[in-house]
Amino acid sequence: METINSKLLNWASILDDKTREQALRTSQLSFIYPHLALMPDAHLGIGATVGSVIPTLHAVIPAAVGVDIGCGMIAVRTQYSLEDLPKDRKRLREAIERVIPLSAGHNNRNITTSAEPRIAELRKLAAAAGFNPVQYVDKWDLQLGSLGSGNHFIEVSADETNAVWLFLHSGSRGVGNKIAQHHIGVARHMAAKKQIRLPDPDLAHLEEGTPQFDRYIAELRWAQHFALLNREEMMDRVSTQFGKWAGSPVRERERINCHHNFTQQETHYGKSVWVSRKGAIKAEHGDPGLIPGSMGTASYVVEGLGNAASLNSSPHGAGREYSRTAARKAFSLPELKRAMDGIEFRATEAFIDEIPAAYKPIDVVMRDAQDLVRIRHTLRQFINVKGD
């Protein structure tokens, strides 16, 4: 761990100058307490750094949560061992692709039986929060159980004992994005109205005790729950298809579901603060967590060590070293195919910007995180599903 200054602690051994400068700007905001913590996967973000833990007194920065509110991971350990499985992995990949809408803007055509109670729960929660999600996305309910694109994925993996895991990464989809964009705009408007000078307009905050703050927190909590249920819904569909492919239904040995883009109230260094983890997971002592690698590299099932200086947090993944545009210029489809050797995936140029070489090496990230989490399992994927 590196102490950059009294307001910024850093766990990233790979940290470019622009990311460091962005984190420094955020750390100097007057309401940061006690300090901002940069995780090993830190990289440049919009407003605030991805891979940062931002504790704030009596305020929240909507852009410090990001536009994919509640994005996170879910994993299920099955009763299956790798040697028990059929050899035709393409059949399972295609089955998963049929039951889960992939890519930005792709939703379900109708509400499935498994989604109905989850959608009813979300409607009830929205009513209690005093808003209607329709004001953001007309058919938001059809988004529940859809993956999205970018670094979101569904994988089937085996751990060091050859136990088979189902693993996926997604968030609150379009409805969460619209909620986030609205409140980022409200915060920017409030800052302009009060003539608050900011190092970046996207560091505009909402003050606790105001109607704008209360509205954001209510809708943020709803979007975080949408994201959690979205992962549950997709995992149930993946589990069903896996069971059909493997020969009998999945019996779950373990299920972990955790956010890595979220805000919640916590106590640190003697004060109640709002902790925004933008690309970081909560890692209190004993907390189960999931840290995915990049496409084609290992992922990890971890347990939190409760590191107080990190505000009980850990990294959420590998962290980009190349922007998407830069990755498309630097790498090719043949290179992606070589990086994915032995893994069943849809080989297309759409995924070049997700090539493992565009990310920090996950083994370096995990080495940097050794005082934040304990590794319980190392997962190696053999099937990968993504949206383009």
Residues with catalytic roles: 316
Could you tell me the two tokens for 65? 């949560």
Beta carbons of 332 and 352 less than 8 angstroms apart: yes
Beta carbons of 196 and 164 less than 8 angstroms apart: no
Rounded-to-integer distance, Cα 148 and Cα 123, Å:
22
CA atoms within 13 A on the CB side of 115: 22
Beta carbons of 141 and 109 less than 8 angstroms apart: no
Could you tell me the two tokens for 186? 């409200």
3-state secondary structure 143-209: HCCCCCCCCCEEEEEECCCCEEEEEEEECCHHHHHHHHHHHHHHHHHHHHHCCCCCCCHHHCCEECC
User: Which residue bears the tokens 């970081």?
Assistant: 280
